[in-house]
Structure 1
Amino acid sequence: MIAVLIGGMLLDGYILGIVGPVSSAMADELQLSPLWEGLIVAAALLGILAGSPLGGWAADKWGRKPLFTFDIALFTVASAMQFFIDSPVLLLVARLLMGIAIGIEYSVGWPLMGEFSPTRLRGRLLGAMNIAWYGGFMMAYLIGYLLNEYTEIGWRFILGTSTFLALLLFIARLGMPESPRWLFSVGRRDEARLLAQKYLPDDALSDLEHEDVRKGSFAMLFSRQYWRSTLFISGFWFCAVAPYFAIATFADSVLHQYGLAGGLAGGVGLSAVALAGVVITFFLIDKLGRRVLTVPTQWLCAVVLAVIGIWGGAPPAVVLVLFLVFSFFNAGYTTLTGVYPAEIFPTEIRGIGTGFATSISRIGAFVGTFLMPLAIENLGTSTTMLIAAAVAFAGAGLSQWLAPETKGMSLTEAAAGYTH
C-alpha cells in the first residue's frame, strides 16, 4: 500500500524533472518563444493549482478512493498525449491536464497516508512521499539527459515516458480500500470499523473512535479555529518551493551564469543533494520532531541565497557549494510540507486543506519557474538570487511564528492542539 500511495509523488517529480533536458530541443522544433517555453514548463504547476483544491473538496465530500483512481486514469491519458504533440498548444494542454491529475493526487495521497499510518511512524511515512518526489525528479532528469544526449529518441517520447509509470500505478491501485477515518467522519461507522480492523494499526484504531461526525467546508479553513493552520501551511509551502523550483528547473542556466558547468552534473547533482536532504529528514523526523527541522534550516537557506546574491564575484567553487547547501537543507524542510497538512487539519477538511495549501504552493512554484529565466535576463542573476532570498526569509519568519510540534500526537490530538 505504501508504494501505491507514494507513486503519485514520484510521477509529479518525474514530469517536472523530465522537461529540463529536452527543453532546448522542444523549443527549437516547435519554435517556442521564451514566453511559450516558460508557460509549457510551468503548465503542470498551473494544473496542480487548479486540481488540488477541487480534488480536496471532492475527496472530503465523496471519499478518498474514487478520486485516487480517477486522478491516475486522467494522468495516464494526458501523459500519452505527449507522444503525438504537433503544436505548442497541444503540449500545453497535455501538461496542464497532467498537472490537474497530480493536484488531485496531492489532496488525496497525503491525507490517505496520514490516515493509514501509525503515530510513531507517521512522520517518516509522510516524508517518504517527498523522497519519492525528489527521486522522481532526479530519475527523470537523468533519464531525459541520457536519452537526449546518447540516443536518437525524440523529445516527444522522452516526455511521454511518464505514461508507462502511470499505467503501472493505475493497475496497482485497483482494489485500494477507502479511508476508515473518512468513513467514520461521514457517519458510516460500522463500515469504518470493519476496514479499520483490517488495515489500521492499533493506535490509529483506538484514535478512530475520537473522530467527530462533522461536515467540512471550504469556509472552515478560514474560521477562527483553523486560520492559523491554513496560513502556516500555505505560506510555509509557498516560500519553500518557489526558490527551489526556479533554481532546480533551470539549473543549467543558473549555474552557467556563475561560470559553472551544467548538464548532467548540474541538474542531477543539485537533485541528488536534495534527495539526500529528504532522506536524512526522513530518518530524523520522528526522533527530533517537526519544528526543529522546519525553522532553523529555513533561516540558513535564506542566508545562503542572500550570500549568493550579494557576493557577485564569488569563486565558482564557492557558489557551487552554496547552491548544494541550499538544495540539501531546502529539501529537508520541504519534506515537512507533506507532513504538516495531514496532521493539523481534521479529517473533515484534511482533503480541502491539503488541496488549498498545495494550490498556494504551486503559485509559488509557477512564479519561480516562469519568472526565473525572465528575471535573469532582465534583472541579472544577483538580483534574482536576492529576490529568492527575500522569499526564503519570509517563510522562515512565518514558521518561527506558527510552526507547531506534532511529534508523538495522534491525528485527533494534532488537529485539536493547533486550534487555540
Structure 2
Amino acid sequence: MPARCGPAGQAVGVHPYRRHEGTKLVVNNAVESTARGSAARRRFLIRLTVVVSGGMFIDGYVLGIVGTVIGAISTELDMSVYGEGLVGASALIGIFAGGPLGGWLADKFGRKPMFTIDLGIFVVGSVLQFVVDSSWQLFAVRLLMGVAIGAEYSIGWPLMAEFAPARLRGRCMSFAEVAWYIGFVMAFVVGYVLTTAHSADWRVVLGTSTLPAVVLFVGRLGMPESPRWLMSKGRTEEAERIADAWIEDGADRADITGEQQRRGTFGMLFSARHWRATAFISLFWFCTVTPYFAIATFSASVLAQYGLGEDGLAGAIGVNGVALAGVVVSCLLIDRLGRRKLIIPQQWVCAVVLVIIGLWTSAPPLVVLSCFLVFAFANAMCTALTGVYPGEVLPTEIRGLGTGFATAVSRVGAALGTFLFPWSMTDLGAGPTMLVAAAVCVVGAAVSQVMAPETVGRALHEISAPGGR
C-alpha cells in the first residue's frame, strides 16, 4: 500500500529518522564503493610499478652478472681481450636493436601484447645460457636477451608514464632505475657467492637470471592496455573504460581525452616539433651511461689495478651499492625538487672526480676509492632520470619509438665503453682512460644545462604539446 503524503509532501507512516538513516546508508555505501575503487587503483599502480621495474631489475642483473665470471669465461673459451669485451657488450648490442624495434611494435600494436612477448623471449635466452659451449654461442644468446631487454625499455617505461599520476610520475618511473641498480648489485653478490663459496660453473651463474624472469612473466599476465594508446588509435570507449577503472586522479583521466589520432613515424622524432626532445634524451642518456658501464662492468679489475685488493670484487660491490643509494635519493626527491636539479650539478661532479683520478695517477688507494664512490653516487642520481624524460617529453604516437631510439643511442655508448675499456686500460693506461670518461661527463652536463626541460607535476599532453617545454 503506497504511503500517504502529509504536509510538505512528507510521507505519512514513514519515520523521518528512518528516512534519514536510509539516506546515510546510501551515501555511506557510495563512499565505501569509492574508497574500494581508490584502493584498487592504488594496488594496480603498485603492481604496474613492480612489473615494469622488474624488467629493469633483470636488465641490471644480466649486465652485472657477466662481470663476475668474465675471467672464467675468457679462460675456458680461450678468448682474446677483444673477445672478452665483445661478450661483455653483447647484451648491450642487442639492446641497440631491440629498443627501436620494441618501441615501434608497441606504438603500432599496443603496449599490452608486447609487454609479455618480449619477456617470453628473454626467458628462452636465459635458459639457453645453461648449455652454451663456445664464445660465439654465448655471444648469440646474450645478443637475443639484449634484444628483449631493449624492447623492455621502450614498452615498460611508456606504459608506466601513461598510467602514472602526474604528481607521482617521476617517482614511479625512476623506481625502475632503483630496480636496475638492485639487480646490478645483486648480480655481483650472487656471482661473488657462487664463484667463491661454491665454485659454480659460469653457465650456472649466468643462468640464474631465469628465475626472476619466470616470476615476472607470470606477474605480467592480465595487465590492461594503455588508455592513452587506445585513445590515440580512436578506441575511445575502451580507453575511457580502462581509465575510469585504473586511473584515480580526475585531472589525469581528463588529460587522456586530449590525445589525438596520429600515426607515429620515425621521421617525427626529427621534425621541427620533436627534434629537440629527441636530441636531449639521446645525448643525456648516452653521456650518463657510457662511463658508468665502462667502469662498473670491470670495476673489480679496475679497483685491483689501483691497489684495492687482489680481486677487487668486494670493492666493486661497494661501488655499485653506493650507486644504488644515489638512485634511491633521486627517486625520493624527483617529484619535490624537479628534474633539472637532479641531473645538472651531478654530471659536473662526475667530471671533476674522474679528472682527479685521471691526473693523480699515484693517488693513495683510499683517495681513488673515495672518488669512485662519489662518481657512482652522483652518476646514479642522473641515471634515475634517463627513463623518466623520454616518457614525458614525447607524445603517445612516438613515445615507444622515441624511447627505443634513445635507448639505442645510449647503448651505443655503453657498448663502446664496455668493448673499448679493457683495451684502453691496457694500451692507454688508467689515467688517460679516466680523462676520456670525464670528457663524456662534461658533454652530458653541457647538453643538460642547455636542453633539459622541467616537467615535474605537468600533464603528459601539456608537456608534449607545441611549445609545451
- TM tier relative to shorter chain: over 0.9
The corresponding residue for 1:238 is: 286
Cα distance in 1, alignment partners of residues 359 and 468 from structure 2: 40
Kept in 2, the 8 Å contact 1:299–1:396? The answer is: yes
Point out 4+ residue stretches in structure 1 off by more than 4 angstroms: 417-420
Kept in 2, the 8 Å contact 1:229–1:418? The answer is: no
Cα distance in 2, alignment partners of residues 192 and 290 from structure 1: 29
The corresponding residue for 1:30 is: 77
Q: What displacement does 1:417 show?
A: 6.2
* Cα distance change, pair 413–419 in 1 and its aligned pair in 2 (3 A): closer
Cα distance in 2, alignment partners of residues 418 and 265 from structure 1: 49
- Is 1:95 aligned to residue 104 of structure 2? no
Q: What displacement does 1:212 show?
A: 1.3
The corresponding residue for 1:79 is: 126
**CA deviation digits over 1:292-318, x for unaligned, max 9?**
111111111111111111111211111
Superposition pairs of residues 289-328 of structure 1, within 5 angstroms: 289-328=338-377
Q: Which runs of 5+ in 1 are unaligned?
A: none
Q: Which AA in structure 1 matches 2:451?
A: L
Q: Which AA in structure 2 matches 1:87?
A: S
2:62 to 4, 15, 26: 15
Secondary structure in 2 aligned to 1:54?
helix
Q: Greater share of helix residues, 1 or 2?
A: 1
- Is 1:209 aligned to residue 209 of structure 2? no
Q: Which AA in structure 1 matches 2:231?
A: F
- Is 1:188 aligned to residue 248 of structure 2? no
Q: TM-score, normalised by structure 1?
A: 0.98
**Percentage of identical aligned residues:** 57
Kept in 1, the 8 Å contact 2:301–2:312? The answer is: no
Stretch deviating more after TM superposition (283-292 or 152-161): 152-161
The corresponding residue for 2:9 is: none
Kept in 2, the 8 Å contact 1:10–1:134? The answer is: yes
Superposition pairs of residues 101-120 of structure 1, within 5 angstroms: 101-120=148-167
Cα distance in 2, alignment partners of residues 129 and 344 from structure 1: 18
The corresponding residue for 2:92 is: 45
The corresponding residue for 1:263 is: 312
Cα distance in 2, alignment partners of residues 217 and 417 from structure 1: 17
- Is 1:150 aligned to residue 197 of structure 2? yes
Cα distance in 2, alignment partners of residues 137 and 197 from structure 1: 37
Q: CA RMSD in A?
A: 1.0
Kept in 1, the 8 Å contact 2:390–2:403? The answer is: yes
* Cα distance change, pair 247–218 in 1 and its aligned pair in 2 (3 A): same
The corresponding residue for 1:221 is: 269
Q: Which AA in structure 2 matches 1:231?
A: A
Structure with bigger gyration radius: 2
- Is 1:346 aligned to residue 395 of structure 2? yes
**CA deviation digits over 1:216-273, x for unaligned, max 9?**
1110000000000000000000000000001100001211222112533222111100
Kept in 1, the 8 Å contact 2:289–2:383? The answer is: yes
Q: TM-score, normalised by structure 2?
A: 0.88
Q: What displacement does 1:416 show?
A: 2.1
**CA deviation digits over 1:150-183, x for unaligned, max 9?**
1032110110010111111111111111101100
Cα distance in 1, alignment partners of residues 267 and 103 from structure 2: 13
2:324 to 239, 256, 275: 275
* Cα distance change, pair 84–34 in 1 and its aligned pair in 2 (3 A): same
Cα distance in 1, alignment partners of residues 467 and 456 from structure 2: 13
Cα distance in 1, alignment partners of residues 71 and 346 from structure 2: 34
* Cα distance change, pair 418–154 in 1 and its aligned pair in 2 (3 A): farther
Q: Which runs of 5+ in 2 are unaligned?
A: 1-46
**CA deviation digits over 1:358-407, x for unaligned, max 9?**
00000010011111100011101000000000111011111111000001
The corresponding residue for 2:19 is: none
Q: Which AA in structure 2 matches 1:321?
A: S
Secondary structure in 1 aligned to 2:130?
helix
